Amino acid sequence: AQKVTQAQTEISVVEKEDVTLDCVYETRDTTYYLFWYKQPPSGELVFLIRRNSFDEQNEISGRYSWNFQKSTSSFNFTITASQVVDSAVYFCALKETSGSRLTFGEGTQLTVNP
Amino acid sequence: EAGVTQSPTHLIKTRGQQATLRCSPISGHTSVYWYQQALGLGLQFLLWYDEGEERNRGNFPPRFSGRQFPNYSSELNVNALELEDSALYLCASSLRWWGRYSNQPQHFGDGTRLSIL
């Protein structure tokens, strides 16, 4: 069965610091998809980034970047020059091709202090 | 483009009652998903509907049920409410899940907070 683990329960940084959120996953599928979502205090889950298991390149999108390491089953997410508005709970999620449900990690509460 | 909309925002019920939660997907999305976010339990998959059919359900009892209408909107019904049903219920929608759409992200609504007294 699939599983997603986010070992960091809470992270606190000062504005403008870079911060990396860790995610480790387990799956038996050879093709799968990984996502990061942000949940601000208002409650809605906001889609941030997506990664296909067959894509080898790591990418940067604005202040967001991600490091996908298939060999270690990790999908880490970095926010560069953090801002107070980045404060939220961040969820890593896995979707296998054999189904459509998302399996979420436990979430990491990020607090960015001014 | 309008996002996923859910109603009501808050719902207060007592034990044993029935609750109905509603969701309208993004225009063009045919798949609708329901998730429960209960305190201490994280985000748990509840139900998935596509083209009016229930395609998959999570590890929840039968008193959690729903349906999808011809316009792709969806309802989640929870019968015989229990205290532990208190949670934020999130609805999401996506383009069709198979083939070239397999990697499409699910887009979430603001949720319905269900409180059981």
pLDDT at position B10 over 80: yes
* Per-residue pLDDT reduced to its tens digit, A41-59: 888 899 998 888 887 667 7
* Per-residue pLDDT reduced to its tens digit, B14-72: 999 999 999 999 999 999 999 999 988 889 999 999 989 999 999 999 999 999 999 99
Q: Across chain A, how many H-helices and E-strands are there?
A: 0, 12
**Contact call for A43 and B56, based on CB within 8 A:** no
Farthest-apart Cα atoms in chain A, separation: 44
* Per-residue pLDDT reduced to its tens digit, A89-107: 999 999 987 667 899 999 9
How many alpha carbons lie under 13 Å from residue B20 in its C-beta half-sphere?
5
Q: Which long-range contacts (CB under 8 A, 24 or more apart) does A40-45 make?
A: A40/A87, A40/A88, A41/A88, A42/B110, A43/B88, A43/B90, A43/B110, A43/B111, A43/B113, A44/B90, A44/B108, A44/B109, A44/B110, A44/B111, A45/A91, A45/B90, A45/B92, A45/B108
Residues from chain B that touch A43, judged by Cβ atoms under 8 A, are: 88, 90, 110-111, 113
B47 shares contact with chain A (CB less than 8 Å): no
